[in-house]
Copies of this chain bind each other. A is one copy, B any other.
Amino acid sequence: MTRIEHLTESGLLARITPGLAQGSDVELGPGDDAAVVRMASPRLVITTDTLTEGHDFLLRATRPEWIGRKAAVQNLADVAAMGARPQAVVVSVSAPRETSSELLEGISRGLDDRCAREGASVVGGDLGAADALSITVTAVGALPEGQAPIRRDGARPGQVLALGSPLIGRSAAGLALVLAGRGEELVGRISADGSPADGDSADEDSADGTSRATGPDMTPEGLVAWHDAPDPEIAPGWTVCPGRARAMLDVSDGLARDGGRIARASGVVLDLDRAVLAADAAALAPAADLLAERTDPWHWVLGGGEEHALLAAFEEGEVPPGFRRIGRVRVPAPGEESGVVLDGTVLSDLGFDHFG
């Protein structure tokens, strides 16, 4: 192990930057004051987000590569949710002086791998000292001329609410296992091949951790790995959603809370389909049974954040491949506020808030 305090900043960067693959759209990669990237259009889509040790992840209950993947995906998904393909990211890492170089190299590798899968390059970064490890990623993409950004306010009564993931709530279930003190043990049991969601699956057919043969990995190990590095399909955001999705975001803070954002922005009610989501809750029930304090898996389905799956409203008959119907958009009843409803109950207060 090499502690970074024994390396110069440039020595550390010399270990990291050669591993960052640069796409053909990168005019100037890491190493100067700023990077230069030829975007697909001048209409820039940009977003930023931070992961902090002790708040957003626990080092003992994850892997360096997974931290990098999670930091990537939460930003890539935001760009995708506007209907744009992510092209490049920059990353700022703050780390204690006693941090190992290997940890930072692992984070960088995970970040680069996850970006590369979408065709995005890690074009620059910054390293600084701090008391706690944190990783801030900024992702950029571009909207083609004439293509409107897919906002949150375009849901209209009669449309279908659809989710770009075969199962929601895995990240929250994994978090519950981590908070129950089982993270270190479960992560230790997963083979160290750098693939977070493989768990006990026999194959790796799909990028979102869903094996075509066996479906999502619902083992405790698989759920913790999904929490540590959620891996939803985000490419549909720019491949099939432009011109089709009327409102879209990625599920960062839970179905209820994020759905509520679409509902309020659009002035509608999102009526969730209990029969559909009951399958998600049932799939998560065995994990809930593992916890000393029994949790209702419906809380994970409706309130669980950090999934980063795409949630969108489509006109009836226009739901594209990769999305499944989970509800419908309707007019608020007289006196009813905009929000997310399940069986007549408003769910808007469920979900994750960073400070509340």
Residues of A within 8 A of B (CB): 4-5, 7-10, 12, 27-28, 32-50, 52, 54-56, 77-79, 81-82, 84, 88, 90-92, 94, 97, 123-132, 134, 136, 138-143, 149, 151-152, 249-250, 353-356
Contact = CB atoms under 8 A, between A and B. Distances in A.
Contact of A50 (B4, B42, B124, B126): B126
By CB atoms of chain B within 10 A, which of A43, A48, A151 has the most?
A: A48
Contacts of A129: 52, 55, 354-355
B36 A149 contact: yes
Nearest to A45: B34
B92 A48 contact: yes
16 contacts: A8-B353, A32-B152, A36-B82, A39-B39, A39-B42, A39-B44, A41-B42, A42-B142, A46-B90, A46-B140, A48-B124, A49-B126, A50-B94, A50-B126, A128-B354, A131-B131
Given A48-B124, A92-B136, A140-B140, A34 B81 contact: yes
Number of identical monomers bound together in the oligomeric complex: 2
Contacts of A44: 36-39, 44, 88, 140
Contacts of A81: 33-34
Nearest to A143: B36
By CB atoms of chain B within 10 A, which of A9, A42, A151 has the most?
A: A42
